[in-house]
Amino acid sequence: MNRFVARKVAAPFPGHLSFLYDLYDGSNMTSLEMATLSTAEMTAYNKFGIPELKQRAYRHRGAALRGLSAALSSPDRDVRFNDKTIGTVLLLGTFADISGEGSIRDGAHVTGLHYLLEQRGKGQLTSKIGAEIFFLGVMKLHIHAFVTNDYSYADPGGYSMLMQDVDPVWRARALVCKIPRLRSALSDHLHAMASTYQLETTSNHGSPISPVPREQSSSPPSDKSASPERIPPLQAEDVQQIVTLYMGCMKVLGELSEWDQDITRSPAFNPDIVEIGPSPTLLSPISPLAAEEPLRQQQQPRPNRYDSRTACTVIMLKSTRVMLLLSLLAYLKRVKDWVAAYPRLTVDTNASLLLAAMFSSASPSAPNVEKMLDDVRNSLGEIERCVPFAVGSERDDLDGIASFQEGSGMGHDSATMLSSNQVEVAAAALIIMHPLILVAMCPYSTPQQKQMSIDVLHRMDKNMGIRAARHRLRELTESEPRGLFF
């Protein structure tokens, strides 16, 4: 289990499951200790195939669930919402990642995790353990939103926004929490307009909406759509909402770009950087509804190498950036298709000129789709560049396994047999597993990037015992990715 725990060695990084070193007490087997043992035993079973390990893993998992139920039923608030209780929920989620059993869409522990994070209040952010637990919990909730398109649990309490000025990592967390809200708003507005104006929708992602009236179509008419002649004009508030959402997305993308520049200047982010690359001259961030051509600007030098913690942070932020861009592109395409298919939408609307300006290819104010696609591709390229810094090579996996086999159990002494990089490889793997699935599934990934992601996911399964890396990739690629807007 030490291979899945990365200690917090320096601010501002929280580590990964490092709270176990403070909370785990082998002499007092509570739900947390049982959940830890079950996860460790399942990891060992996946690698060595000893049936007894699997039996013990499920036995300890059952004990952890019973202990968790008892804690949540306690009349004492300090028992219901303490670090060990919510830590147990996180460990049971890690058990699901390790075992690979159950569907990722099931949302196991999501409602309970969201409830606990909200009920623990703002005070949890002021302690080292509480802040780490909160961040890991929010990560799991974002993964749920990523694959299900359900944003109900994405930002418990809105607490991340309260801490965004503390340090760059908290600012990154606040930005990450903004993105599910924006993606939810984009999705909700599409559904609202389709319902209000009885617009045709399509189940095939990316396919255009046909402007052919229903009576001329060979397919049976939909009860939820009207012919183009009967569509009412768009109301001013809907046109304003389109512009507001677009501007909101551009603002967050700009803030993410600013954060990219921060990590090149902050020594806290780059303790192991050995070389800084030359400053590339790139186009400035997308200018929303700007009539003039974007000016070229000199960016900060980009690091040639990241330490593991920085690499994981960059991968997480770049993956959320890709998700926001894909959602925005899909939103704009759907609205543009509606405007083309149903001309009456822009009739008798005071703001029709603004709407026409946004979706006219000749308009300098139109959203620059090509720049957005370049942004997606650049972000995917940065994820690809950071993966080796996060999880190393296959030799790191095998060296770690060999050293662990020579160790004596799960105590602290066995962890000292691994180099710091080897100890963090599997912890980093759990953090970047779903961003890698995103890269493998994204239609704008290059064949090389897709293959890199698949290879690393197979490494996680084969060498690290993370069965979910293989199972969830297969599950998501074999079903309609309804949360991904592809």
Average pLDDT over residues 112-139: 86
Asked if residue 405 is part of any domain, the answer here is: no
- Determine, yes or no, domain membership for 321: yes
Are 30 and 176 members of one domain?
A: no
372 inside domain: yes
pLDDT band at 129; cut points 50, 70, 90: confident
Single out the residue in 372, 388, 404 at which a domain terminates: 388
Q: Are 105 and 189 within one domain? A: no
Judge if 124 and 271 occupy the same domain: no
Domain boundary among 388, 410, 434: 388
More confident residue, 308 or 385: 385
Q: Which residue type is seen at 105? A: R
Do residues 178 and 110 both lie within one domain? no
- Say what the pTM is: 0.76
Residues 61 and 90 in one domain: yes
Tally of domains in the chain: 2
Average pLDDT for residues 343-369, to the nearest whole number?
A: 64
Mean of pLDDT values over 266-273: 54
Is there a domain that residue 318 lies in? yes
Longest dimension (CA), the chain: 77
DSSP collapsed to 3 states, the chain: CHHHCECCCCCCCCCECCHHHHHCCCCCCCHHHHHHHHHHHHHHHHHHCCHHHHHHHHHHHHHHHHHHHHHHCCCCHHHHCCHHHHHHHHHHHHHHHHHCCCCHHHCCCHHHHHHHHHHCCHHHHHCHHHHHHHHHHHHHHHHHHHHHCCCCCCCHHHHHHHHCCCCHHHHHHHHHHHHHHHHHHHHHHHHHHHHHCCCCCCCCCCCCCCCCCHHHCCCCCCCCCCCHHHCCCCCHHHHHHHHHHHHHHHHHHHHHHHHHHHHHHCHHHCCCCCCECCCCEEECCCCCCCCCCCCEEECCCCECCCCHHHHHHHHHHHHHHHHHHHHHHHHHHHHHHHHHHCHHHHCCCCCHHHHHHHHCCCCCCCCCHHHHHHHHHHHHHHHHHHHHHHHCCHHHHHHHHHHHHHCCCCCHHHHCCCCHHHHHHHHHHHHHHHHHHHHHHCCCCCHHHHHHHHHHHHHHHHHHCCCHHHHHHHHHHHCCCCCCCC
Write out the residue range of the structural domain in which residue 186 sits: 164-204+230-388
pLDDT tens, residue by residue, 278-299: 444 433 333 333 333 333 444 4
Residues 154 and 172 in one domain: no
Confidence of residue 413 (pLDDT cuts 50, 70, 90): very low
Note the pLDDT of residue 209: 44
Mean pLDDT of the 424-445 span: 84
Are 109 and 182 within one domain? Answer: no
Residue that finishes a domain, picked among 107, 128, 160: 160
135 and 183 part of one domain: no
Q: Average pLDDT, stretch 143-157?
A: 75
In 3D space, the residue among 251, 378, 231 whose CA is nearest the CA of residue 314 turns out to be: 378
Q: Tokens 């006219």 map to which residue?
A: 360
Query: For position 453, what pLDDT does the model report?
Result: 92
Tokens of 328: 């925005």
Contact 99, 467 (CB under 8 A): yes
Task: Identify whether residues 114 and 249 lie together within a single domain.
Answer: no
For residue 432, tell me if it sits in a domain. no
- 345 domain residue, yes or no: yes
Same domain, 194 and 71: no
Average pLDDT over residues 185-189: 91
Same domain assignment for residues 66 and 117: yes
With 60 as the cut, is the pLDDT of residue 97 above it?
Answer: yes
Phi, psi for residue 291 in degrees, rounded to 5: -80, -20
pLDDT for position 64: 96
Q: CA–CA separation, 452 vs 322, rounded Å?
A: 17
165-179 per-position pLDDT tens digit: 666 777 777 787 788
The per-residue pLDDT of the chain, averaged, comes to 74
Digit-coded pLDDT (tens) for 56-77:
999 999 999 999 999 999 999 9
Asked whether residue 454 is assigned to any structural domain, the reply reads no
Residue 313 domain-assigned (yes or no): yes
Domain co-membership, 195 together with 58: no
At 483, the pLDDT band (50, 70, 90 cuts) reads: very low
Structure confidence at residue 174 (pLDDT): 78
